[in-house]
Amino acid sequence: MNGKPNPSKHDAAWLGDEDQGLVPEPLTEALDRIFASGPSETAMNAAQNKLDRALKAEEAMVVYYDYVPASPIGAFFVGLSEHGVVALSFEESEERFLDWLQRRLKATVVCEPGKLREVVSQVLEYLEGRRNVFTLTYDLRSATPFQRDVLTTVQEVPRGKYLTYGELARRIGKPGAARAVGQALGSNPIPILIPCHRVLASDGSLGGYSGRGGVRTKEALLRLEGAIQ
């Protein structure tokens, strides 16, 4: 013996030095065929198409906005995407409003008053008591599913009526979520158009309101609608 290892024929085959005498296992053969073939052409095309659509949607996301300097409740900003109204904000700083839009929607923001003409008109008509129903579409894609559920349901509360946070929680099938409902309404990106002001505390008090003027504005809106005297 020369001191060097003398692997068996089976070991040599297993190490790849010899392809004779080793019987491949069925599972190994099946895995080899899968790895060799790779993803199917159909699966690859489907994945590529999905990626292309996502990239296209990201590139095409543009939000137009306008500033309204005067209304019965003061100045406000409005934002509109190709899917509908995305924002109505009482923010006093244009810089902060634009920063909020860009962070929330990751979109290109363009000042384009002409595209917001109908939105602004309907909001002013409502605030001046000349409109009862909005005929606008809303873009709530940036909201969570729970927030969308709350905001969509509160739109069913008619002008001149109101309900409590607990009642709204029961309507969405979450009877113990009154506090979470209040938080979702507090983050409503389109106040007035989505009437979060029509939801009160369980004791009949006004509760909170995130818009300019807080509960004073909420009370004014409810009086305008005839919900309270």
Q: Which residues are catalytic?
A: 196
Close Cβ partners of 37 (under 8 Å, ≥ 6 residues apart) = none
Cβ(171)–Cβ(179) below 8 Å: no
In one-letter notation, the amino acid at residue 108 is T
Q: Cα dihedral angle (38, 39, 42, 43), rounded to 10 degrees?
A: -170
Residue with tokens 């080793």: 22
Q: Choose among 112, 78, 38: nearest CA to 194.
A: 78
Concatenating the DSSP letter of every residue in 84-150 gives EEEEEE--S-HHHHHHHHHHHH--EEEE-GGGGHHHHHHHHHHHTTS-SS----B--TTS-HHHHHH
Residue 97 to residue 109: CA distance in whole angstroms = 11
Close Cβ partners of 161 (under 8 Å, ≥ 6 residues apart) = 198, 227
DSSP state of 78: E
